[in-house]
Amino acid sequence: MPIIPLDTTDALTLGLPVDDNATRFSNYFHVLREVIHWSNGWLPLEPAFHAKYVLGEHIHDDARGQVKVRRRIYELRANEDWPGAPSPELAAQLDRLATASSPAEHAQVVYGQLKPTLLAALELHTTLVDPITDEVSLLVLRQLIERQRRHIDEAAARWTITPEAPFVADLGALAIVKRETRDLQVLPPLDEPARDEFVTVTPDGDPFLGEELYVNGDENHVPTSPEEQQHFFHGLMDAELCAAELMARNSHEYPDMPWDFHVDMARQTWDELRHARVHEVLMASELGCRWGDFEIGFDYFKSIYAFDLTGRLLLFNGTSEQKAMWRHSHRRQVLLDLGQANVAKVFDYLLADEVPHVHNGVRWGTHLLGGDPAAYRARMKELREGLDRTGQPMAPPQAT
């Protein structure tokens, strides 16, 4: 149904001129683009799991919102003038975001300044458009408002945020610099991700977890005893966190990839964090253990992260996620046969999510190899020949 009832015959207000509307959406574009980019960079370095989860959910929300903002700019003014580059006033705030030195400082800039200023501009924008001639914009604005308001509230529960005075009265009214672009900088490479302070990180991880858990075929061992399942799902929770952090860094470290790639990475980041949350709840509700009860290690994460984007996508999405599909299916059936339905059902949706994750590897790995499926298959064959029986690279990538 339309926003305005069909029996309404009030005069049209005609609202904003189209150019002004396009300018406002262009300013939203610049804020969302850089918030997504830098949030992806800092997510692996945020130690608290629940804060990491919130950040990943917000990245996914903002990526979806950015799709609609980009589309609306195209619909309003499909030429090289828009979205342009941000004004000096906005660029100064985005520079502040780019120079943040910690996850907490990043959160302060995002949730103490940029998102509140964005929210105020969105709310003002809804009063300036005619809901009949520009119903499309109004629908986009209302969804953005709901999400930004929720993000600000959720962030206050996870970080110490000091509300700041807006840097400008109306973000949307700032002029854009037409026919110019703003480059995105990248954080230094990771040493390793951060974990809650109560989690013990060791070079070898949990010694209870054997190789047979991570191989396919008859050798694959399904944990069925209470003690085995405690260690297994604790390790699986950390593996999901590592996957989320890898996807976030894929997006952050390769900002020139097509926008669809960043949307796919945002969704997979959120998926992996949701999976970690599933395991956190399962451990507490069914298995009698909690996050942090056992050691974890980053050996596998580091072995994949050492590769370039093509290598990461082929090894993790195209290989690890693909093989995990078989193991999830196998584990589910074994546990169902043993009458452990509550544990087995965890694998249903994990398995469903792995399908698009594998597709991400095929789609973007092929893209990076010139769109040539044969080149993708050849590179995949080469990389898989360097894996051990658990799917981990036996040697670091060769310098090119």
Q: Tell me: do 230 and 368 sit in the same domain.
A: yes
> What is the residue range of 61's domain?
18-173
Q: What is the dihedral of CA 57, 61, 66, 71, to 10 degrees?
A: 140
- For residue 53, tell me if it sits in a domain: yes
Instruction: Check if the beta carbon of residue 380 is closer than 8 Å to that of residue 319.
Output: yes
- The whole-number pLDDT of residue 47 equals 98
pLDDT at 337 over 70: yes
Is this prediction's pTM over 0.85? yes
Of the listed ranges 5-19, 48-62, 188-202, the one predicted with least confidence:
5-19
What 3-state class would DSSP assign to 78? coil
How many helices and strands (H and E) does the chain possess? 14, 0
- For residue 54, tell me if it sits in a domain: yes
- The whole-number pLDDT of residue 353 equals 87
Q: For residue range 339-357, what is the model confidence (pLDDT) as tens digits?
A: 998 888 888 888 888 889 9
| Res. 131 pLDDT band, cuts 50 70 90 | confident
What 3-state class would DSSP assign to 26? helix
| Res. 325 pLDDT band, cuts 50 70 90 | confident
Kindly calculate the radius of gyration of the chain based on its CA atoms and give it in whole angstroms: 23
- For residue 160, tell me if it sits in a domain: yes
Q: Tell me: do 169 and 217 sit in the same domain.
A: no
15 or 279, which is more confident: 279
The rounded distance, in Å, linking the Cα atoms of 53 and 157 is: 13
The fraction of the chain above a pLDDT of 90, given in percent, is 78
Q: Tell me: do 163 and 215 sit in the same domain.
A: no
pLDDT at 276 over 90: yes
Q: Tell me: do 330 and 267 sit in the same domain.
A: yes
Say if residue 316 is exposed, middle or buried (CB neighbours under 10 Å; 0-12, 13-18, 19+): buried
- For residue 348, tell me if it sits in a domain: yes
- Per-residue DSSP letters for 82-145? SS-B--HHHHHHHHHHHT--SHHHHHHHIIIIIHHHHHHHHHHHHHHS-TTTTHHHHHHHHHHH
- For residue 162, tell me if it sits in a domain: yes
CATH number at residue 296: 1.20.1260.10
CATH number at residue 47: 1.20.1260
26, 68, 125 from 130: Cα distances, Å: 19, 19, 10
Distance between terminal CA atoms of the chain? 57
- The whole-number pLDDT of residue 125 equals 98
Region 70-90 average pLDDT: 91
Q: Tell me: do 166 and 256 sit in the same domain.
A: no
The rounded distance, in Å, linking the Cα atoms of 386 and 137 is: 51
Residue 393 has φ and ψ, to the nearest 5°, of -60, 135
Q: Tell me: do 316 and 372 sit in the same domain.
A: yes
Q: Tell me: do 377 and 231 sit in the same domain.
A: yes
- The whole-number pLDDT of residue 2 equals 59
Q: Tell me: do 224 and 364 sit in the same domain.
A: yes
- Domain count of the fold of the chain: 2
Q: Tell me: do 50 and 140 sit in the same domain.
A: yes
- For residue 188, tell me if it sits in a domain: no
Average pLDDT over all residues of the chain: 93
- For residue 151, tell me if it sits in a domain: yes
The rounded distance, in Å, linking the Cα atoms of 123 and 145 is: 7
- The whole-number pLDDT of residue 331 equals 87
The rounded distance, in Å, linking the Cα atoms of 44 and 193 is: 5
The rounded distance, in Å, linking the Cα atoms of 319 and 96 is: 39
212 or 107, which is more confident: 107
Of 138, 137, 128, 124, which Cα lies nearest the Cα of 168? Answer: 124
Name the domain boundary from 154, 173, 192.
Answer: 173
The rounded distance, in Å, linking the Cα atoms of 314 and 373 is: 12
Instruction: Tell me the residue length of the chain.
Output: 400
The rounded distance, in Å, linking the Cα atoms of 188 and 31 is: 22
- For residue 193, tell me if it sits in a domain: no
Q: Tell me: do 92 and 219 sit in the same domain.
A: no
Instruction: Check if the beta carbon of residue 296 is closer than 8 Å to that of residue 232.
Output: no
Residue type, 57: E
- The whole-number pLDDT of residue 14 equals 73
- The whole-number pLDDT of residue 144 equals 98
- The whole-number pLDDT of residue 3 equals 63
Q: Tell me: do 72 and 162 sit in the same domain.
A: yes
Q: Tell me: do 164 and 269 sit in the same domain.
A: no
